[in-house]
């Protein structure tokens, strides 16, 4: 991932330096377990434990010759080991994928913990924003068209629960990827005791894979990157709502706009939803990593390396991009400007058309007394509504005229009650009460 979208903490997880430090940890733990079991000389452990991790530059210099990253790492690390002979027992009984898959599991869990912490914060930000706007009236829209009265807090509450579910999904995926595999060539433990695998897994906070060939099957990694893709898409849904709300014709929402910020090189009046647009673009990147990673599940027999080149790009890029997206969404929601007056004005802008469904229900309910069928009630309300669309005449007025033309008497007092905007959201109280305990 390019530096522009890489935050320091997540960037460190996927750095070459961190990878080699983890490789050193894994190899040292295996060596310690071997020494404890009497498989290798005990005096080999301390020199290896004290040897500095090789630099990425040192490993690359050797890999340019060997064309094998693990061998290059082992050679470069041996160069840092005194006496060098102690390094002979490093990687004892292991195959490359034992090191690669176990270390990758550590990186994936480290990355996941960063994402989970930010997701926790975003859930809290969305929850508090929704509760603060539980009474902020706005129109609810379907297909982009005004539907019925709603409150802004209701929309945000939906996002809060969506992010919370995405976080919980990612937490489950953490378990799926947190697996160590130290099982030797083709996974038969031919040169290594399963007890060593259990020891290494426990020390690293991982679970020993219940079965591995020469690699851990990639269904867990696929689950993990899919969880990232879902969360990224939920964040895009938040961004899309803000983008629609900031359109000039709507003007209900505004992204934070700092002093000195510029919206356009040519049009000084512009305040563009650039945070939300960036979120929409990055969500595509995260989603795009799902299929390539999933295609790493089927490999030739016990292993090939067609998955590894993909994962070197896809796994860091997906987590780095989502990390940036979470950071950006928190910033967006903490600084979001909500224009309650504009929301109210938009709600009232169609002359009462947002009450057609409740008026229809009221006419149907009173039909037993008035003799008005559902079909006739629908036709009456629709005729009145279409006249309002076409002429701009308030809906209550066109409704009254259409009813009179059909010989129908309206209960004006009852219509006043059912067309009160607050009435539409009174039953959301229970939802908001539940939302208050979301964490």
**Calculated CA dihedral for residues 204, 178, 181, 7, nearest 10 degrees:** -80
What is the spatial distance between Cα 331 and Cα 129, in angstroms, rounded to a whole number?
13
In this prediction, residue 140 carries a pLDDT of 96
Each residue's pLDDT tens digit, 4-29: 999 999 999 999 999 999 999 999 99
Q: Which CATH architecture has domain 96-345?
A: Up-down Bundle (1.20)
Whole-prediction pTM value? 0.93
Please check the confidence at residue 56 and state whether its pLDDT lies above 70.
yes
Each residue's pLDDT tens digit, 62-119: 999 999 999 999 999 999 999 999 999 999 999 999 999 999 999 999 999 999 999 9
Please check the confidence at residue 260 and state whether its pLDDT lies above 80.
no
Q: Which H helix or E strand runs over 68?
A: none
In this prediction, residue 177 carries a pLDDT of 97
- Give the start-to-end residue ranges of the domains of the chain: 1-92, 96-345, 353-418
Mean pLDDT of 38-54: 96
Please check the confidence at residue 265 and state whether its pLDDT lies above 70.
no
Domains 1-92 and 96-345 share a fold: no
On average, the pLDDT of the chain sits at 94
In this prediction, residue 266 carries a pLDDT of 59
> Catalytic site residues?
143, 264
Confidence of residue 271 (pLDDT cuts 50, 70, 90): confident
Q: What six digits make up the tokens of 282? A: 């990055």
In this prediction, residue 256 carries a pLDDT of 86
CATH code, 1-92: 1.10.275.10
Alpha helices for 246-354 (secondary structure H): 274-288, 290-294, 306-335, 340-347
In this prediction, residue 120 carries a pLDDT of 98
Mean pLDDT of 343-362: 95
Beta bridge partners of 238: none
Please check the confidence at residue 410 and state whether its pLDDT lies above 90.
no
Each residue's pLDDT tens digit, 285-297: 999 999 999 999 9
| Range with lowest mean pLDDT among 142-151, 158-167, 252-261, 417-426 | 252-261
């Amino acid at each position: 991932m390019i530096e522009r979208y890489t935050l320091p903490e997540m960037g460190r997880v996927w750095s070459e330096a961190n990878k080699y430090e983890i490789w050193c940890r894994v190899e040292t733990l295996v060596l310690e377990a071997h020494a404890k079991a009497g498989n290798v000389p005990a005096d080999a452990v301390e020199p290896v434990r004290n040897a500095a991790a090789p630099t990425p530059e040192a490993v690359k210099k050797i890999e340019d010759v060997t064309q094998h990253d693990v061998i290059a790492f082992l050679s470069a690390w041996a160069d840092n080991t005194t006496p060098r002979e102690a390094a002979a027992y490093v990687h004892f009984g292991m195959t490359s994928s034992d090191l690669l898959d176990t270390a990758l599991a550590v990186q994936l869990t480290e990355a996941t913990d960063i994402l989970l912490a930010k997701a926790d914060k975003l859930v809290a930000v969305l929850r508090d924003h929704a509760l603060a706007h539980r009474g902020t009236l706005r129109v609810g829209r379907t297909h982009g068209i005004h539907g019925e009265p709603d409150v802004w807090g209701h929309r945000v509450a939906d996002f809060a629960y969506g992010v919370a579910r995405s976080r919980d999904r990612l937490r489950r995926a953490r378990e799926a990827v947190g697996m160590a595999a130290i099982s030797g060539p083709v996974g038969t433990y031919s040169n290594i005791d399963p007890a060593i695998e259990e020891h290494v897994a426990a020390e690293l906070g991982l679970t020993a894979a219940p079965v591995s060939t020469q690699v851990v099957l990639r269904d867990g990694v696929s689950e993990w990157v899919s969880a990232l893709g879902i969360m990224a898409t939920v964040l895009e849904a938040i961004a899309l709502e803000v983008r629609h709300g900031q359109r000039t014709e709507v003007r209900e929402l505004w992204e934070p706009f700092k002093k000195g910020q510029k919206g356009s090189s040519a049009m000084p009046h512009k305040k563009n939803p650039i945070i939300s647009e960036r979120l929409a673009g990055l969500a595509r990147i995260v989603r795009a990593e799902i299929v390539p990673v999933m295609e790493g599940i089927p490999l030739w027999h016990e292993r090939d390396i067609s998955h590894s080149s993909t994962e070197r790009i896809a796994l860091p890029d997906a987590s780095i991009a989502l990390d940036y997206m979470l950071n950006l969404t928190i910033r967006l929601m903490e600084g979001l400007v909500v224009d309650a007056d504009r929301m109210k004005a938009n709600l009232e802008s169609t002359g009462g058309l947002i009450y057609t469904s409740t008026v229809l229900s009221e006419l149907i309910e009173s039909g037993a007394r008035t003799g008005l069928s559902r079909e006739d009630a629908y036709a009456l309300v629709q005729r009145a509504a279409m006249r309002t669309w076409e002429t701009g005449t308030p809906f209550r007025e066109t409704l009254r005229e259409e009813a009179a033309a059909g010989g129908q008497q309206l209960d004006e007092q009852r219509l006043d009650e059912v067309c009160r905007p607050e009435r539409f959201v009174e039953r959301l109280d229970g939802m908001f009460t539940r939302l208050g305990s979301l964490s």
